[in-house]
Amino acid sequence: MNVISDGDRSRLARLITQLQDEPARADETLASEGYAEDAVAGHVVGISGAGGVGKSTLISRMLHVLRKDNLRVVVLAIDPTSERSRGALLGDRIRMRDSYGDGGVFIRSLATRGAQEALTVALGAIIRVCSAVCDLVIVETAGAGQVDVGIHRHVDTFVTVVAPLGDAITLMKSGQSEHAHVVAVNVRRGLEGNDRFVQQAGVILGGESLDDGWKRKVFAIDAKNSEGIEPFVQEGILAHREALNQT
């Protein structure tokens, strides 16, 4: 069984804290710890979308599918820094507690610490140290708006999670979806108009060719009830990873 060793875990924990406390010295820290610029590293997936749309729940379901394939996964879950406590609530982690005992998964919560676009400080450097010890790094942004597109510059595969809200015009607006390789429409069971929204999303967002030649895919999922997760992971995320590896 593929695992992330205890040594790697404590190294990650220490380095992430150091990088966030001294973001200005990130390059120096990486160099002194022996992280080469051109090292081959794990695939990076960004999951973004509005607050409460189901990102953490979706990631917790994804972990089960990815672990069946024996992939080692690091999850970086970004939560807003609380103005009151100066920390993060760690709410994302609570949603992923199923995977806490799994030696192939490492989950770390990060507070935004004043960073823009629902990201956090030193994110690029943190992703680098994480991707050195696993097959897949998943970054969950803090609850993001349509204009928070910065995450796509840090990742190989960009996923946006949307709720079936709005109409065709909403779907046609640029923003996050424009950069997404994979769109997950999180359909809450039993809501009227869902099917129509999913169909419209497929027509409007699906199939568009992106910079890397990939045609965007749209999946209907139900994160809470764990429906549609396997095709989303296999035909969406892992297929995009495979497509990038081919080129």
Q: How far is the CB of 149 from ligand GTP (least distance, A)?
A: 16
Q: Which does 48 bind (CB under 5 to 8 A by kind): ligand GTP, Mg ion, none?
A: none
Cβ-based nearer residue to ligand GTP, 133 or 187: 187
Residues that bind ligand GTP (CB under 6 A): 49, 51-57, 91-92, 95, 143, 186, 188, 222-224
Of the two residues 43 and 55, which places its CB atom closer to Mg ion in the complex?
Answer: 55
Report the residue number, 55 or 128, with the smaller CB distance to ligand GTP: 55
Task: Indicate the pairing of strand 136-140 with strand 217-221.
Answer: unpaired
- 92 lines the binding site for Mg ion (CB under 5 A): yes
Work out which of 56, 60, 120, 160 binds Mg ion, going by CB under 5 A. 56
Of Mg ion, ligand GTP, none, which one sits near residue 166, judging by CB under 5 to 8 A according to partner kind? none
**Other beta carbons less than 10 A from residue 124's beta carbon:** 14
As given in the structure block, the two tokens for residue 85 are 């406590």
Alpha-helical segments (H) within the chain: 6-21, 26-32, 55-68, 91-95, 123-131, 168-172, 176-179, 194-205, 229-231, 239-246
Q: What is the DSSP string of 44-60?
A: EEEEE-STTSSHHHHHH
Count Cβ atoms within 10 A of the Cβ of residue 231 and give its class: 0-12 exposed, 13-18 middle, 19 or more buried.
middle
Question: Among residues 110 and 237, whose Cβ is nearest to Mg ion?
Answer: 110
Which residues form the interface with Mg ion (CB under 5 A)?
55-56, 92
